[in-house]
Amino acid sequence: MKASEKLLLRFIEGNDKNFIIPVYQRNYDWGKKECKKLFNDLKLIAKNKLKNYFLGSIVSIDIERDKFFIIDGQQRLTTISLLLLAMYDLVDSKQKEATKFIKERIKDEYLINKYSDDKTKKIRLKQTKKDADNFYFLVNDDIDKVDRNSGIFVNYEFFKDELKKENLDEIYNSIGELMIVDIELKKEVDDPQLIFESLNSTGLALTEADKIRNFILMNETEEKQEQYYETYWKKIEENVAFKTDKFIRDFLTYKTRNIPNIREVYFNFKNYDSNKDTDKEGLLKELLRFSKYYRFILHPAEFPDKKISELLKEIQTLEVSVFNPALLELLKDHDKNRPKDDDDDVVIDDTQLKEILQTVIDYVFRRSICDVPTNALNNIFASLISDVKKEKDFSNEQYAEILKHILIKKGSSRRFPKDNEVKESLLIKNVFRMKNKQYFLTKLENHKNKEPVDIENLIEKKKIQIEHIMPQTLTAKWKKDLGEDWETIYSQYLHTLGNLTLTGYNPELSNKSFQDKKKWFEDSRFYFNKYLTRIEKFTEKELKERTKHLTERFLEIWKYPQTSYVSDHETEQNDFYTLEDIEEIDFTGKNIVSLSVYGGKEIEVNKWNDFYVKAIKFLLEFDRGYLEKIRELGIEIGSKEKVGRGRRRPEEVIDGIYINVNFVSNRMLKHLGQIVDAIGFGRSDIKFQIEKGSDKKIKVSNKKTK
């Protein structure tokens, strides 16, 4: 590696010098904000006659004589090129004058290789695929072909507008004062990936997917980069709708059974890659295959089987993205045409897949109705399919049955709510404020209906409305009809299922009496209104009866699973809890048996203070700098003498650093939650397991998930 200070224009100029922005780099994405800052800096240089103004570093690697890959600095290099091009065009079109530079010099020395006959080498700075054509057309004055929404064109126009207000000679002189650190790497000597990771670029932050793409493609030849990008990476990004960070996180969760922190996906991917024997192309092939499964998750309508497509759409509607890793594996297991060298030979048919998807929908929606905290779902779904396949008598035919069995064996915050719990919840559940109320009402309305009504679409278009039978504003007539307890009935049942229906005449019905509303209900085609036509009044009794009637319909749609499968080890499931659970669950008096930390490392522990010490020890071994953040939270940590005063009980964490452990389990868990929040870890990164069977005793608080 050779690093030297150099004037930017000196770096760019040179006969036949070519710069290539590799396909693995992100596209040009500087916006007006970044361009304006650069232009203001240039005006500041001119105003104050500054010398050698530092712009930043540019990292390149020579791939052959006078031909360089730009590893870092592409945004600044492209932006300066657009600014120079805008200056040239203004002088060339005689819109502005310049006396201290010749316009031909700008084009011939900084923008093109004048004597090159090769179109690909004619442009001095070769952009990535998306931007290459737009940049080429601009430089060659073929502006009609330029995409006017592209960042290339928008920023070029911005600079033209700004330059019209300024003295071109002064701006050109300012560009001449821009200084860079030219970091030139040597092929087969320097590792560009390691250097790239350590750079503190002044440009926009890279996404985790950007880093992964660079990691895969960076050390390949230009030809290989082009091939891998076009054949694999471009298609992967298109399949996952450019939600590449999330896709790779879900892919890694499925592969490793551990949920990466969204900010650490790149490093987790590197670790995953280092443990595989597959070459880069093999890895890209695998990612491409799973991106096709992910496409079905994002676009359920594309799935060939209509019923499976509908079930995937329901999962999407319920926004159960934590199920995606398990869903990737399910779709892989359903793919009969997958490569023979896949990691297992499990194959499930359409019937099995439908049954599994329906079971998951039933599980998720029943939990939603019963207000069971959702934070446990991350870890449940991360290991669900793995747990299925771990059963000793697992077979393809038993796939769905084992999955049902595993879910119904779960307790506490991981439970599959039974019918009685659903009935109790629906009686008082605020359905009107539910996030998925349209989905809920649509399914109830259309159950066994051979002429289904698109309720969601009609509500969106405001052609029908959700009507409160007992109105939101009670009249004297309604208060009289409800009886002496009208206030209690109103406050308890206003937004519940029993008091809601569907109508196209909401303004007309308003707060009319039940008898007046009934005339409209009799003309309605909605199932929701049939029961209402058979009753003469609407009091608490009728409201509860209607709730019971609709609840029976609910239980037919979202069923509690039935299975004949019996495990050969009928013990309690060994569920892990995480720090996400501590707001809803009281762990007092429960015996902890293991700690599992970020990266999947499992540590045996025998008591809560042992867990507390080892968790903090892991964090400090991960980064000693976290010590100050822990102290800032007011948590007692430091020397034995400092921590051991009074009734405190110090235990050594690491290298003479002690922490007070004289707390109950819930206090320790609260401290750990505060610590991981402060240092930027996810609460799901710290997992723990309690003694088998003791989760029956766990108390779940009434606090709702935020």
Among 135, 170, 205, which residue terminates a domain? 205
Of 583 and 172, the one with more pLDDT: 172
Please, where are the H alpha helices in 257-397?
A: 265-274, 280-298, 306-317, 324-334, 350-369, 377-390
The DSSP secondary-structure symbol of 279 reads -
Of the candidates 290, 387, 281, the one whose C-alpha atom is nearest the C-alpha of residue 334 is 290
Query: 440 and 398 share a domain?
Result: no
Rounded distance between C-alpha atoms, residue 15 and residue 34, angstroms: 30
Residue with tokens 């003479």: 656
Query: 459 and 582 share a domain?
Result: no
- pLDDT score at 428: 95
Q: Residue 695 sits in a domain of what CATH number? A: 1.20.1380
Rounded distance between C-alpha atoms, residue 610 and residue 587, angstroms: 15
Residue 274 placed within a domain: yes
What band does 200 get if pLDDT is binned at 50, 70 and 90?
very low
Total domain count for the chain? 4
Query: 272 and 395 share a domain?
Result: yes
Rounded distance between C-alpha atoms, residue 198 and residue 207, angstroms: 15
Query: 484 and 583 share a domain?
Result: no
In the numeric block, which tokens belong to residue 699?
A: 């108390």
- pLDDT score at 203: 47
What band does 260 get if pLDDT is binned at 50, 70 and 90?
confident
- pLDDT score at 312: 97
Residue 608 has pLDDT above 70, yes or no: yes
Of the candidates 65, 98, 64, 63, the one whose C-alpha atom is nearest the C-alpha of residue 84 is 98
Residue 12 placed within a domain: yes
**Residue 188 — left, alpha, or beta (φ > 0 → left; ψ -120 to 50 → alpha)?**
left
Mean predicted lDDT score pLDDT of the chain: 86
The range of the structural domain enclosing residue 655 comes to 576-700
Q: What is the mean pLDDT of residues 206-228?
A: 83
Query: 607 and 517 share a domain?
Result: no
Query: 396 and 263 share a domain?
Result: yes
Query: 412 and 355 share a domain?
Result: yes
Query: 65 and 163 share a domain?
Result: yes
Residue 27 has pLDDT above 80, yes or no: no
Residue 567 placed within a domain: no
- pLDDT score at 61: 84
Residue 687 placed within a domain: yes
Q: What is the mean pLDDT of residues 586-596?
A: 81
Of 533 and 193, the one with more pLDDT: 533
Of the candidates 492, 467, 490, 468, the one whose C-alpha atom is nearest the C-alpha of residue 480 is 490
Q: What share of the chain is helix, strand, coil (3-state, %, to 5)?
A: 55, 10, 35
Q: What percent of the chain shows pLDDT beyond 90?
A: 43
- pLDDT score at 700: 42
Q: 324-334 and 280-298 are packed helices; what angle lies between their axes, rounded to 10 degrees?
A: 100
Residue 214 placed within a domain: no
Concatenated DSSP letters of 379-425: HHHHHHHHHHHHSTT--GGGHHHHHHHHHHT--GGG----HHHHHHH
Residue 266 has pLDDT above 70, yes or no: yes
Rounded distance between C-alpha atoms, residue 268 and residue 655, angstroms: 28
Residue 113 placed within a domain: yes
Residue 61: alpha-carbon gap to chain centroid: 34
Query: 262 and 307 share a domain?
Result: yes
Query: 409 and 432 share a domain?
Result: no
- pLDDT score at 188: 62
Rounded distance between C-alpha atoms, residue 311 and residue 352, angstroms: 13
Query: 37 and 164 share a domain?
Result: yes
Q: What is the mean pLDDT of residues 56-61?
A: 84
Residue 413 placed within a domain: yes
Among 176, 205, 234, which residue terminates a domain? 205
Query: 80 and 183 share a domain?
Result: yes
Among 557, 586, 602, which residue terminates a domain? 557
Residue 701 has pLDDT above 50, yes or no: no
Asked if 577 contacts 688 with a C-beta cutoff of 8 angstroms, the reply is yes
- pLDDT score at 686: 82
The string of pLDDT tens digits covering residues 327-378 is 999 999 999 999 877 777 888 999 999 999 999 999 999 999 999 988 778 8
Residue 213 placed within a domain: no
Asked if 592 contacts 607 with a C-beta cutoff of 8 angstroms, the reply is yes
- pLDDT score at 703: 37
Q: What is the mean pLDDT of residues 24-48?
A: 87
Residue 281 has pLDDT above 70, yes or no: yes
